[in-house]
Amino acid sequence: MTYLLSRNRLQEVIIMGALQERLDIFQEETRTAYQDIMKILEDKYCWKCPMRSTSMNSRCREVHAGRVLQEAMDQGIYNNLQSKIPRVEVNALIARIQKKRIKKQGGAQREKKIIIQVKGDQNPNFNHDEWLVVKINPKRIAKGDKILIPYETLAKPLLGAYALIAGFPSQIAIANRVFHEGNFWYVEVGEKEIVPLESVLGVLVNVLREGNSI
């Protein structure tokens, strides 16, 4: 038995070693790609920017290079997944990846109620003087609940509460059905539209107007 455990442990070490080796290679490729993008920006674009003289202070070139490189990596992951599995499951997977990233950095992501003012361009269903009581990071949703979901125009799935607080456009939907499939929970809304539970911006608990109490 000890011999079998040792062999299994050895195989695990070999696998993890291969994984770390590939990640090290990717990290070096990312470093050189970042440098290349910085140089392209400097040679092709930054010379005509009116902020060129202050770019060393604003670090706009560094920010832009980091953003497009991150977007390219995310797009590569998205394209790879989309070629193998249904889009709704891809969206669930992307949301789960984002959730894992946040958890690793110490984010609790607990279910809680918040009060938020939503501007008209964020959700045309509400007036500018209205405040919403929203349950974010819901662990479960019941049939008939009013929920906030992203507009279809969003190109990529976002993790619910963070999209809401960041001000991304949303719409109200009624949860017609909540079901579990594979390793994910999904909510069916409208004309059989399916959204991952983790992409739901929140459950609408109440709408407060002037003179209302919480």
Q: Determine, yes or no, domain membership for 90.
A: no
In a shared domain, residues 122 and 201: yes
Would the pTM of this model clear 0.85, i.e. be above it?
A: no
In a shared domain, residues 66 and 122: no
In a shared domain, residues 60 and 148: no
Q: Which residues contact 179 (CB under 8 A, 6 or more apart)?
A: 185, 186, 188
Q: Determine, yes or no, domain membership for 35.
A: yes
Q: Determine, yes or no, domain membership for 67.
A: yes
Q: Determine, yes or no, domain membership for 180.
A: yes
Q: Determine, yes or no, domain membership for 199.
A: yes
In a shared domain, residues 126 and 203: yes
In a shared domain, residues 131 and 80: no
Strand, helix or coil at 1?
Answer: coil
Pick from 110, 181, 189, 91: nearest CA to 143: 189
In a shared domain, residues 61 and 122: no
Ranges of beta strands (E only) in the chain are 112-117, 131-136, 146-150, 170-181, 184-189, 193-196, 202-208
Q: Determine, yes or no, domain membership for 98.
A: no
In a shared domain, residues 149 and 193: yes
Domain containing 185: what range?
Answer: 112-208
In a shared domain, residues 116 and 79: no
In a shared domain, residues 126 and 201: yes
Looking at the 3D structure of the chain, how many domains does it have? 2
CA 9/CA 51 separation, integer angstroms? 56
Q: Determine, yes or no, domain membership for 104.
A: no
Pick from 166, 3, 159, 29: nearest CA to 96: 159
Q: Which residues contact 122 (CB under 8 A, 6 or more apart)?
A: 167, 168, 169, 170
CATH number at residue 162: 2.10.109
Digitized pLDDT (tens) for each residue of the chain, 214 residues in all: 444 556 666 566 666 788 889 999 999 999 999 999 999 988 877 777 776 666 566 788 899 999 999 999 988 998 999 889 998 898 888 888 888 888 888 887 889 898 988 776 777 777 777 888 999 888 889 999 999 988 764 555 666 777 777 777 888 899 999 999 989 999 999 888 898 998 898 999 998 887 666 6
